[in-house]
Amino acid sequence: MLEYDPFSDEVMEDPHPVYKRLRAEAPLYYLEKYDAWALSRFADIWDCSSHKAFSAARGTTSSQVLTKVQPVTPMLNTMDPPDHTKLRSAIRPRFARAAMAGMEPTVRGIVTDCLDEVMERGRFDVIGDLAARLSVKVTCTAVGIPVEDGDLLSDLVWRFFGREPGVDGMTEDGLAAAQELSAYFVQMVRDRERAGHDADDVVNALRNFELNGRRFDDEEMASHLSLLIIGGSETFPKTFANGVFRLWQHKDQRRRLAEDPSGIDDAYLEILRYDMPTQFLCRTLTEDVELHGQTLKKDAGILFLYPSANRDEREFDDPDRFDVTRKPARILSFGAGTHACLGLFVAKMEGRVCLEELLARAPDYEVDESGIERLRTEFVQGFASLPVTF
C-alpha cells in the first residue's frame, strides 16, 4: 500500500522511491492528517504554480501549512497578486541578470580567497569553507546587509532549519532563531534610519515601497529581509555540494567540464534538476479545484513536490540518469509562475563561478566519504558537511 508522509523516516532517508510511486499511482495524494494534497508530477506543479486558486497567503512551509507552528508574517513569498507583483517589481532589478553580471568579479574574488586559504591544507569542507561563506556574503552585498554580520546570520539560518528527532517540522530553537533574525533586522533598519543611509539597495527599495498608501513598518521590513537572507544563503551551499558530489561520482563528466568549462552552465542546471534540496513548498486553495477527477476543496493545503517533478518520466528522458550535457526545456528547481525564484541569476552565477574555480585548481579532487554529514528533514535535504581532498 502506498503511503506518503513528509515526516516519515522512509521519505527523509530517500524520498525518490516514494516519489516515483506517487507519480505512477497517486499523482494527487491526500494527506488526511493535514487536510492537504501532494502533487508529484511536473505538468501539474508547473500549471498550478500560475493558477490563482493556489494561494501563498497562508504560508508556504510545512510549519505554516501542515503543522501550523510557525506564524505567517509579511513576506514576498506569502503575498498573492496584485500586491506580490507590485513588490516583486520594486526589488527585482537588484537581482536581474545585468546586476548579477556586475557582481561576478566580487563573487570570483570571494571564491578564490576561500580556495587560497585551503589549497595548502589539501582538504576543505565544501559547505563550511566555501559555499556557505560565499552565499551569505553575496546575499548581504546584493541586499544591502552589513557583510561583517554574515557569520551571525548564517548561524541563525542554519538554526532555523534545524530539526530534532520526534519533532515534526520546526523546533523550538528554530522558532527562536526566526525571532532572533527578525530582531536583528529591526535593529538594522532602525540603525540605518538614524544614520540616514540612502544607498540604492534592496533595503531602501523596501523602505520606500508603498502598498495601499502605506509603507512597511520596522517589523514588516524585518520579515521581508529575513526571507531574503534565508532564501539567498541556505539553498546554494546544498546545491553546490550536491554538484561536487555527483561530479565526483561521475568522473568522466567532471573531466569533460574541467577540459571544457563552457559546459558548466548546462551542468549546473542538471545538478539543480537531479538533486533539489527543497522537498516542497505549500499553497492553500482559495476555491474548489478539479484535478485528476477529484475535487480539491477550498482551504485545503497543497504540497508541490519539486524534486519528484524534476525526475518525472513524462517530462525528462531517463530522469534518474545524471547527465551534464542534458539541456531540458524547463526545470522546477527555481519554481514557476507567480512565485518563481527571485534569485535565479544569483544562484546560476554563483554555481558557475564556484565550479570554474574548483575544477581549474583541483580537477581530480576526492570526496572523503567518512566525513560526510547529511541533513534529513521533511523540508530540506542535502549535505551539512562534504569534505574533499586534493
Tens of pLDDT, residue by residue over 47-61, are 999 999 999 999 999
Query: Region 100-105: what's the mean pLDDT?
Result: 87
The DSSP line for 323-346 is: -TT---S--STT--GGG--TTHHH
The per-residue pLDDT for 200 is 81
**Model pLDDT for residues 149-171, shown as the tens digit of each residue:** 988 998 888 888 777 777 777 78
The per-residue pLDDT for 223 is 92
Q: What is the largest CA-CA distance in the chain?
A: 62
Question: Cα–Cα–Cα angle for 246, 282, 203, nearest 5°?
Answer: 85
Per-residue burial over 133-142, b if 16 or more Cβ lie within 10 Å, else e, is bbbbbbbbbb
Supply the DSSP symbol for 55: E
Query: Region 114-141: what's the mean pLDDT?
Result: 91
| 57-284+337-389 belongs to CATH 1.10.630.10 | yes
For residues 72 and 78, the answer to whether their CB atoms sit within 8 Å is yes
The per-residue pLDDT for 64 is 93
The per-residue pLDDT for 314 is 97
Query: How deeply is 148 buried, as exposed, middle or buried, from its count of CB atoms within 10 A (0-12, 13-18, 19+)?
Result: exposed
Q: How far apart are CA 1 and CA 22, in angstroms?
A: 11
Provide the grid cell at 243: 554538484
Tell me the three-class secondary structure of 103-134, residue by residue: HHHHHHHHHHHHHHHHHCCCEEEHHHHHHHHH
Q: How far apart are CA 124 and CA 127, in angstroms?
A: 9
Nearest partner of 357 among 225, 244, 245, 271, judged by Cα: 244
How far are the Cα atoms of 58, 71, 174, 216 from residue 211, in angstroms, in the given order?
19, 22, 30, 8
Any idea where the domains of the chain sit in the sequence? 57-284+337-389
Q: Determine if the peptide bond prior to 105 is cis (ω within 30°).
A: no
Provide the grid cell at 54: 493556489
The per-residue pLDDT for 375 is 85
Contact partners, residue 103, CB within 8 Å, separation at least 6: 138, 141, 142, 349
pLDDT band of residue 336 (cuts 50, 70, 90) is very high
Per-residue burial over 364-384, b if 16 or more Cβ lie within 10 Å, else e, is ebebeeeeeeebebbbbbbbb
Tell the residue number behind the cell numbers 531574503, with chain if given: 228
Provide the grid cell at 23: 507519480
pTM above 0.75, yes or no: yes
Number of H helices, E strands in the chain: 15, 14
The residue with greater pLDDT, 259 or 378, is 259
Average pLDDT, the chain: 92
**Model pLDDT for residues 315-329, shown as the tens digit of each residue:** 999 999 999 999 999
Residue 212, pLDDT above cutoff 90: no
Residue 218, pLDDT above cutoff 80: yes
Query: Region 347-372: what's the mean pLDDT?
Result: 96
**Model pLDDT for residues 65-94, shown as the tens digit of each residue:** 999 988 898 888 999 999 999 999 999 888
Provide the grid cell at 217: 513598518
**Model pLDDT for residues 265-276, shown as the tens digit of each residue:** 999 999 999 999
The per-residue pLDDT for 195 is 83
Q: How far apart are CA 341 and CA 338, in angstroms?
A: 9
Query: Region 232-254: what's the mean pLDDT?
Result: 95
